[in-house]
Amino acid sequence: MALLIRNGYVYDPMNGIDGEKMDILVEGGKIVDKLKSAEYEVIDASGMIVMPGGVDIHSHIAGSEVNAGRLLRPEDHAKDVELKTEITRSGVGYSVPSTFTTGYRYAKMGYTTVMNPSMPPLEAKHTHEELCDTPIIDKATYPLLGDWWFVLEYLRDGKIEECALHVAWMLYATKGYAIKLVNPGGLEAWGFGRNVRDIDDPVPYFNVTPREIIRGLCKVNKLLHLPHTIHVHTNNLGKPGNYETTLQTMKCVEDLSSGDKPCIHITHCQFSAFKGVDWREFYSGAEDIAKYVNFHKHVTIDMGQVIFTDTTTMTADGPFQYILHELTGNKWVNHDVETETSSGIVPFRYRRRSYVHSIQWCIGLELALLIRDPWRIFLTTDHPNAGPFTSYPQVIGWLISRKAREETLSKLNKRARETALLPSIDREYSLYEVAIATRAGQARALGLKDKGHLGVGGDADIAIYDVDPRKIDPSTQYDEYVKAFSKAAYTIKEGEIVVRNGEVVKVLDGKTYWVKVSSNSEYEVSEDMKRRFTEYWTVQFDNYPVSEAYLKRSKPVQVESEV
Amino acid sequence: MGILISPKRLFDVPVHARCITPDTFSTLSLSEILNLEVHEGNRKRKLKELFEVSTGPYTSPEGFTIWMKGDFSKVRYIGYGMSTGKIVLEGVAGMHLGEEMKGGFIQVYGDAGSWVGSMMQGGRIEVFGDVGDYTGAAYRGSGRGMRGGEIIVHGNALNETGCYMRGGLIKVYGSVGQFTGMHMHGGTIMVGGETEGRDGAEMTKGKIVILGRVPSLLPTFKIEAIKPRVKVGEERVEGPFYMFTGDLAENGEGKLYVSKNNNPHLKEFEKYLSPVKVK
Amino acid sequence: MRKIENVICPVCGSLCDDITVYVEDNRVVEVENTCAVGRAKFLNYGLHRKPKPLIRKNGELKEASIEEAVRRSAEILTESKYPILYGWSSTSCEAIRVGLELAEEVGGIIDNTSTVCHGPSILSIQDVGIPSCTLGQLRHRADLVIYWGSDPYSAHPRHIERYTVFSEGRFQKSGWRSFIRRLSGKLVKKRLSRVAELILRRKLTFPEEKYALPPYFISEEERKLVVVDVRKTRTAEVADYFLQVKPNTDYEVLQALRMLVNDQDLEVDEVAGIPVRTLEDLADLMISCDFGILFFGVGLTMSKGKLRNVDAALSLVRDLNKRTKFLIMPMRGHYNVTGANVVFTWQTGYPYAVDFSLGYPRYNPGETSVVDILRRGECDAGLVVASDPVSNFPASAAKTLVDNPLIVIDPDVTPTSMMADVVFPSAYIGIEAEGTAYRMDHVPLRLKKVVEPPPNCLPDQEILARILREVRRIRRG
């Protein structure tokens, strides 16, 4: 069905369009400059905002750890249920929604592309099975490769090219999209209940440091020409004083960037920007991080903004999750995956009256407001770690309005309010900047060429929000924006209207993106590799890869590598 | 003013009737009440399709009164979340009676199912017959059981009475099953009859008083003293009682009082008391 | 003869994936690498299977076409006010996904067999969490393996050899050497006493020290195997140490161990008949290992105390992590019971006992679990997939099931299928049909199709999809 979206205020930062009143034409699932067919549906978007469909660079929506989180929290689901309708499946929320509900709720907010950031390669089939049951949105998933024995061994021996070939094979075998590192080296150490102290602390039994892993995989990423950079969850995440580790992590790949192209993404940076020595002497390190990012173009980061609510923390960072369990006494799930990674889950409540949580809330926003280039800081809550993705509109409210921030600040812990830098920051995001931080910037960082913009030839993934930027001032009437961003007037996915007035009206299956590396030296699986494989894993080599049949709509992204 | 309600027939599948509360009924006219939605299994029904409903001059000090007569054993969530008024049920009540109740009074002249008063915060439930498992408990996975109010059972209760309880009072005059006060964090449980054991398992705070016989005690409880009497709510209960603390596996400080006279087999614990305490 | 390698064995939760199958004339003629149970399944499946679906007419099961059977099933399910859909642990995840959609469409209760095996474990996991891992992690690292209330030698025959004590890992070598040493030690002792008996001309009796830990002459580097059970199982016979507990006292023993692990003193001298000294030794063993694992079986989940036994075991392992690395894992029985939990959870948020009668998923085992519903006589129709509840359920529950209209999808003829109103003989997943299954440690594997199924035996997934289509057709007129 062809569409004519008429008279909307269009925000399309990739094409430099900042709230111009214009028409958007859609045909064959793409944005076009002229409609071929005479029959088309007209959407009157006058007095509304038109943006590319939202893109989320980091949100735990599928896979074994998410599902373990679901299993762990019946009390979280029972308070938030979704009824079955004629077209949609039933489900539950809240912090770890069931798969169908995840798809619908993203679409209702005008999001159309979501990246699932942590997949244990051995359990990749599970992730893809869940992604198949996550409707409407396009998605991709990052395999966890930072603690994989093959990687550790190759990098220890300095064999970058072999490592690159293995990583390419892994991306193919797991149908993955980017290289994910979580507490590099620390997860292998967690196999024996230990951790690494900093980026120069060698991994027990492997004689390789986190620095070497990060640099090595960064080089691999370059050799393979992957669309996204390495996606890094830093060492020491969640520990006071860790902003120094984060700075070191960013610095250690400084020389590997070429031109203005970023080469590292520091994810949910809020959790990695803690200053201080313990939880009492605890401050924001956002200013130092922002200063560094402002002067170095090789880094992109996302916020990991804290929301004051009851949520479920889940990361592959086993040792961090154990600390969280000891800190809170809450129930704890740990799941170590042989030769690859680990994971942990702990329910968590962020409380306004807690000093630490209040500072954490400030850190996320400080990062977003102090980093000047919106193309390199993205809006996330590290769903569900710092809060569920359904809180994004609330975060947008805080970004566009100082008043909104003050409102929340006034309810925070007093000491936090008095020590934090945030109250003195005046900056308010424009809608143009919001469009960058929630779609355009994320799409660019991910190397998704057809996403995050409304230029001709782009995917017709469009979000229309019913709020008039000429009449309603974001700074003072932020409520209206929060409301509008929570319930898209229309969400259009591949040219089909899937959401109308915040309700799902059509369900379709999204695509799964994955990277297909073609290399010069045709990658062959040697007998040696197979032998090591049988030694390292408890499944046979043949039974390891995810076949394309596991992807409902497979969308391979071809890249030409240097090896 | 009040409402009289009784089932039109015996139900074979569960009936979900969260709407049967004084809070809902008191704001509606009879015809609106008749058209309230309930579920019979997977079918949506109107209240009038399943129940005879009429108004009558029922009053009680608690205010608006619902008088229920008949077999409601398949009817779940009676009095769900109610905050005021009174429900008098002559017959059998189904599961989740008075769940998340905040105030008011429920009286059952008969038995009730499992999860009586689970997650309740206030008010009072009195059951003259027996109840099932998980009286005053929490929902699966949640650590927030009953937080306030009173549950009085004149008959027996089954397992895990007061599981994850945090406040309020449960009195069971009959006997109870295993794991009374499991994971208890606060509040008081009194058992008039005997228990099947493992009382106070993994409790961290709160008080359990057992007047009857217990088969044995968990090894993770430590005897502290012998007390002549103990307070349950406003009432003083005469002993003497062995007083234990636990559950030490959870570093708990819960108090478990067990009748001395009805448990001669616990005499061996007296040797662990320091002489001062025995006096 | 066709040789197919790396086939996955669809029998138990170990899901061994290194099986070689030889096929001739669409029949499996030989298998390699399986245990006896797996071998029996591959070589003897489908001997009594019916060739066509059956429908009960005038009290007798009569052959019918697939279409007729589908129509009758759809009628039964749409007419029902509270149908139950049960089984799901011996079929593929793809079938379970359709099953959940069907349950939602007809507003029924869907439950899998964990309701009668590890359901209590799940309830406890929801209370305290679970520190666990994949099985390879144990192969590489575990130096202390405890099986509590489970007997892998009989139920998961290759578990010990593939994943735990007798497997070779990167940091831990196989424990078979110490086993041989222990075995020869026993033999020497036997021979010496025989010689002594000949010299002394009388029968010698050695008092068996029931509870003391054996003196360790095995080297520190090798793995240790400890078995805790109510009787001396076959696994116990190969163990370094066997602790016999009285039936129904696991909870007390576990709680006592927790205190010892937390460095607290027990006031009593013995717990459930076991001297506290013995428990202290066991606690020391647990604390001093580098990487321990506790496997628990139905012996813990279905004996007195049920979910709270598991609660104590999970808490014990959690507490041990303050001192060392210690993990815990349930020994899952059916080959895809883990998968059933996994798929249920991602689609509905809950792992079993899901009630769709209100139009959204509700979960409250005890209320929404199938055995309890049947015992209260609350359901009015049933669909059973790849399970035999008539033989396994309590009599009162089985009675409600067969008194109401019942549909059975199962490749085998079972007591349940003989009592049913509609029977679909289906294809064997993992032999005649593909599909995904999850190992007990949540590792997904793709089951293979090695032979063609008979013409009227469709895979479960296909049968369910047809019933679902027919239900929708009836409902939407």
User: Per-residue pLDDT averaged across A471-493, rounded?
Assistant: 97
Measured between CB atoms, does B14 come within 8 Å of chain C? yes
3-state secondary structure chain C: CEEEEEECCCCECCCCCCEEEEEECCEEEEEECCCHHHHHHHHHCCCCCCCCCEEEECCEEEECCHHHHHHHHHHHHHHCCCEEEEECCCCCHHHHHHHHHHHHHHCCEEEEHHHHCCHHHHHHHHHHCCEEECHHHHHHHCCEEEEECCCHHHHCCCHHHHCCCCCCCCCCCCCHHHHHHHHHHHHHHHHHHHHHHHHHCCCCCCCCCCCCCCCCCCCCCCCEEEEEECCCCHHHHHCCEEEECCCCCHHHHHHHHHHHHCCCCCCCCEECCEEHHHHHHHHHHHHHCCEEEEEECHHHHCCCCCHHHHHHHHHHHHHHCCCCEEEEEECCCECCHHHHHHHHHHHHCCCCCEECCCCCCEECCCCCCHHHHHHCCCCCEEEEECCCHHHHCCHHHHHHHHHCCEEEECCCCCHHHHCCCEEECCCCECCCECEEEECCCCCEEEECCCCCCCCCCCCHHHHHHHHHHHHHHHHCC
Residue B275 is predicted with a pLDDT of: 64
- pLDDT 10s digits, B104-141: 999 999 999 999 999 999 999 999 999 999 999 999 99
For a pLDDT cut of 70, what percent of chain B falls above it? 98
What is the reported pLDDT for B279? 44
pLDDT at C190: 79
Which residues 29-88 in chain A show a CB within 8 A of chain B? Answer: 72-76, 78
DSSP B106-171: EEEES---SSTTTT--SSEEEESS---S-TT---TT-S----SSEEEESS---S-TTTT--SSEEE
Least confident of A1-10, A191-200, B38-47, B50-59: B50-59
What structural domains does chain A harbor? 2-52+457-504 (2.30.40.10), 54-446 (3.20.20)
CB contact under 8 A, C308 and B198: yes
Question: Any chain A CB within 8 A of the CB of C472?
Answer: no
Q: What's A440's DSSP letter? A: I
Amino acid identity of residue A283, one-letter, is Y
Predicted-complex ipTM score: 0.96
CA distance C415 to chain A (A): 33
Residues in C touching B143 (Cβ below 8 Å): 127
Rounded Cα gap, residues B135 and B125, in angstroms? 11
Cβ–Cβ below 8 Å for A73 and B140: no
Tens of pLDDT, residues B211-226: 999 999 999 999 999 9
The residue of chain B nearest to residue C381, with distances taken between CA atoms, is B13
- List subunits contacting chain B, requiring 3 or more Cβ pairs under 8 Å: A, C
Q: Within an 8 Å CB–CB cutoff, is residue B142 touching chain A?
A: yes
Query: How many other C-beta atoms lie within 10 A of the C-beta of residue B48?
Result: 16
Q: Which residues of chain C have pLDDT under 50?
A: 215-219
CATH 3.40.228.10 residue window(s) in chain C:
119-330
| Model confidence pLDDT, tens digit, residues B195-253 | 999 999 999 999 999 999 999 999 999 999 999 999 998 999 998 999 999 899 999 99
User: Which residues in chain B have Cβ-Cβ distances shorter than 8 Å to A74?
Assistant: 139-142
Q: Please indicate whether, in this complex, the C-beta atoms of C360 and A334 are within 8 angstroms of each other.
A: no
Strand partners, A43: A5
Determine the residue of chain B that is closest to C125 in CA distance: B141
Does B141 sit within 8 Å of C127, measured CB to CB?
yes
Give the pLDDT score at C365. Answer: 96
Residues of A in contact with B142 (CB under 8 A): 74-75
Going by DSSP bridges, is the β-strand pair A282-284/A230-233 parallel, antiparallel, or unpaired? unpaired
CATH of domain C119-330: 3.40.228.10
Q: What is the pLDDT of residues A446-462, one digit of tens each?
A: 999 999 999 999 999 99
Q: Do A99 and C346 touch (CB under 8 A)?
A: yes
Q: Token pair of A111, please?
A: 């999001």
φ, ψ for residue C157 (rounded to 5)? -55, -30
| pLDDT at position A532 | 86
Arithmetic mean of pLDDT, A40-50 = 96
User: Searching chain B, which residue's CA lies closest to the CA of residue C128?
Assistant: B141
Whether the predicted pLDDT of B165 surpasses 90: yes
The CATH classification number of C49-117+335-475 equals 3.40.50.740
Contact A336 C444 (CB under 8 A): no
**Looking at CA atoms only, how far is residue A433 from chain C in angstroms?**
35
Percent of chain B with pLDDT over 90: 91
Taking residues A379-393, report their average pLDDT. Answer: 97
pLDDT of residue C218: 44
Within 8 A of C477 by CB-CB distance, chain A residues are none
Mean pLDDT (chain A) is 95
Instruction: Please compute the mean of the pLDDT values over residues A156-161 and round it to a whole number.
Output: 94
The SS3 of residue B235 is strand
pLDDT reported for residue A522: 63
B205 to chain A, any CB pair closer than 8 A? The answer is no
- Establish if B220 touches chain C: CB-CB under 8 angstroms: yes
B189: DSSP letter: E
B75 touches chain C (CB under 8 A): no
Q: How many angstroms separate the Cα of C290 from the Cα of each of A321, C143, C325?
A: 20, 7, 6
Query: In this structure, how many other beta carbons lie within 10 angstroms of the beta carbon of residue C257?
Result: 25
The domain ranges of chain B are 114-278
Q: Do C82 and B14 touch (CB under 8 A)?
A: yes
β-pairing verdict for C270-271 and C274-275: antiparallel
Residue range A162-168: average pLDDT?
A: 92
Per-residue DSSP letters for A394-436?
Answer: HHHHHHH-HHHHHHHHTTS-HHHHHH-SGGG------HHHHHI
Which residues make beta-bridge pairs with C446?
C436
Query: Are A193 and C291 an interchain contact pair (Cβ–Cβ within 8 Å)?
Result: yes
To test the contact with chain A by mutation, choose from B80, B100, B139 the residue with the greatest count of A C-beta atoms within 10 A, namely B139
Domain with CATH 3.40.50.740 in chain C: 49-117+335-475
Task: State the Cα–Cα distance between residues A23 and A41, nearest whole angstrom.
Answer: 13
Q: Letter for the amino acid at A297?
A: K
Q: Which residues from chain C sit within 8 angstroms of residue B42, using beta carbons? A: 80-82, 106-108, 356-358
- Of C300, C288, C220, whose CA–CA distance to C253 is shortest? C300
Asked whether the beta carbons of residue A338 and residue C5 sit closer than 8 angstroms, the reply is no
CA dist., res. B161 & res. A354, Å (int)? 34
Contact A333 C130 (CB under 8 A): yes
pLDDT digits (tens, 9 = 90+) for A82-116: 999 999 999 999 999 999 999 999 999 999 999 99
Using the predicted structure, report yes or no on whether residue A135 has a pLDDT greater than 90. yes
* Per-residue pLDDT at B278 exceeds 60: no
